[in-house]
Structure 1
Amino acid sequence: MTILILLFLSACFLAYSNGANDNFKGVATLFGSGTTNYKKAINWATITTFSGSVAAIFLANELVKNFSGKGLVPNELITMPIFAISIASGAALTVFIATKIGMPISTTHSLVGSLFGAGVMAVGSQFNFEKLGGTFLMPLIVSPLMAAIASFIAYLIFRFFRKQLGVTKKTNLNIHKKQVATINSLHMDAPTLKTKTVIETTVNNKTEVYEGGILGLSSQKVLDALHYLSAGIVSFARGLNDTPKIVGLLLIINIIDIKLSMIIVAIIMAGGGLLNAKKVGVTMSRKITPMNSGQGFTANLITGLLVTTASIHGLPVSTTHVSVGSIFGIGTVTKKADYKMIGKIMLSWLLTLPTAAIISALIFKLLGIFS
Structure 2
Amino acid sequence: MILILLFLSACFLAYSNGANDNFKGVATLFGSGTTNFKKAIGWATATTFSGSVAAIFLANELVKNFSGKGLVPDDLITVPIFAISIALGAAITVFIATKIGMPISTTHSLVGALFGAGVMAVGMQFNFDKLIDKFLFPLIISPLMAAVVSLLVYIIFRFFRKRLGVTKTTNLNIHKKQTPSIPSMNMDNTINLKTSKSIEATLEQTIETYEGQILGLSSQKVLDSLHYLSAGIVSFARGLNDTPKIIGLLVIINAIDIKWSMIIIAIIMALGGLINAKKVGVTMSKKITPMNSGQGFTANLVTGLLVTTASFHGMPVSTTHVSVGSIFGIGTATKKANLKMVSKILLSWLLTLPMAAIVSGLLYKLLETLS
Could you state the TM-score of these two structures normalised by the residue count of structure 2?
Answer: 0.97
1:346 aligned partner: 346
- Pick closer, same or farther for the CA change 1:61–1:181 going to 2, 3 Å: same
Q: Which amino acid aligns with 2:366?
A: L
- Listed as ranges, the matches of 1:292-307 within 5 Å are 292-307=292-307
C-alpha displacement at 1:199, in angstroms?
3.0
2:92 aligned partner: 93
Q: Which amino acid aligns with 2:263?
A: I
C-alpha displacement at 1:175, in angstroms?
1.6
What are structure 1's unaligned runs of at least 5 residues?
A: none
C-alpha displacement at 1:202, in angstroms?
2.3
**Secondary structure of the residue that 2:185 maps to in structure 1?**
coil
Asked if 1:142 is matched to 2:141, the reply is yes
1:286 aligned partner: 286
| C-alpha separation in 1, matches of 2:255 and 2:8 | 15
1:237 aligned partner: 237
| C-alpha separation in 2, matches of 1:141 and 1:48 | 27
- Pick closer, same or farther for the CA change 1:337–1:74 going to 2, 3 Å: same
1:324 aligned partner: 324
- Contact 1:106–1:319 at 8 Å: present in 2 too? yes
Give CA-to-partner distance per residue, 1:291-349, whole Å, 9 cap, x none: 11000000000000000000011000000000000000001110111111111111100
Q: Which amino acid aligns with 2:350?
A: L
| C-alpha separation in 2, matches of 1:130 and 1:192 | 81
**Secondary structure of the residue that 2:179 maps to in structure 1?**
strand
Aligned positions, number: 370
C-alpha displacement at 1:255, in angstroms?
4.4
C-alpha displacement at 1:200, in angstroms?
2.6
2:15 aligned partner: 16
2:165 aligned partner: 166
Asked if 1:116 is matched to 2:104, the reply is no
Q: Which amino acid aligns with 2:324?
A: V
1:223 aligned partner: 223
| C-alpha separation in 1, matches of 2:79 and 2:175 | 60
**Secondary structure of the residue that 1:204 maps to in structure 2?**
helix
Give CA-to-partner distance per residue, 1:161-197, whole Å, 9 cap, x none: 0000000001000122344321243369986656665
1:6 aligned partner: 5
Asked if 1:262 is matched to 2:262, the reply is yes
- Contact 1:181–1:193 at 8 Å: present in 2 too? no
| C-alpha separation in 1, matches of 2:352 and 2:327 | 21
- Contact 2:3–2:255 at 8 Å: present in 1 too? no
Could you state the TM-score of these two structures normalised by the residue count of structure 1?
Answer: 0.97
What are structure 2's unaligned runs of at least 5 residues?
A: none
Asked if 1:309 is matched to 2:309, the reply is yes
Give CA-to-partner distance per residue, 1:12-70, whole Å, 9 cap, x none: 00000000000000001001111111111111100100000000000000000100101
C-alpha displacement at 1:252, in angstroms?
3.4
- Contact 2:105–2:318 at 8 Å: present in 1 too? yes
1:207 aligned partner: 207
- Contact 1:78–1:252 at 8 Å: present in 2 too? yes
| C-alpha separation in 2, matches of 1:82 and 1:346 | 31
- Pick closer, same or farther for the CA change 1:254–1:158 going to 2, 3 Å: same
- Contact 1:230–1:301 at 8 Å: present in 2 too? yes
1:78 aligned partner: 77
**Secondary structure of the residue that 2:328 maps to in structure 1?**
helix
1:59 aligned partner: 58
1:252 aligned partner: 252
- Pick closer, same or farther for the CA change 1:239–1:180 going to 2, 3 Å: same
- Pick closer, same or farther for the CA change 1:367–1:162 going to 2, 3 Å: same
| C-alpha separation in 1, matches of 2:42 and 2:232 | 11
Q: Which amino acid aligns with 2:174?
A: I
- Contact 1:183–1:191 at 8 Å: present in 2 too? no
Asked if 1:276 is matched to 2:279, the reply is no
| C-alpha separation in 1, matches of 2:247 and 2:18 | 14
- Contact 2:299–2:327 at 8 Å: present in 1 too? yes
| C-alpha separation in 1, matches of 2:194 and 2:368 | 71
**Secondary structure of the residue that 2:180 maps to in structure 1?**
strand
**Secondary structure of the residue that 1:314 maps to in structure 2?**
coil
**Secondary structure of the residue that 1:171 maps to in structure 2?**
strand
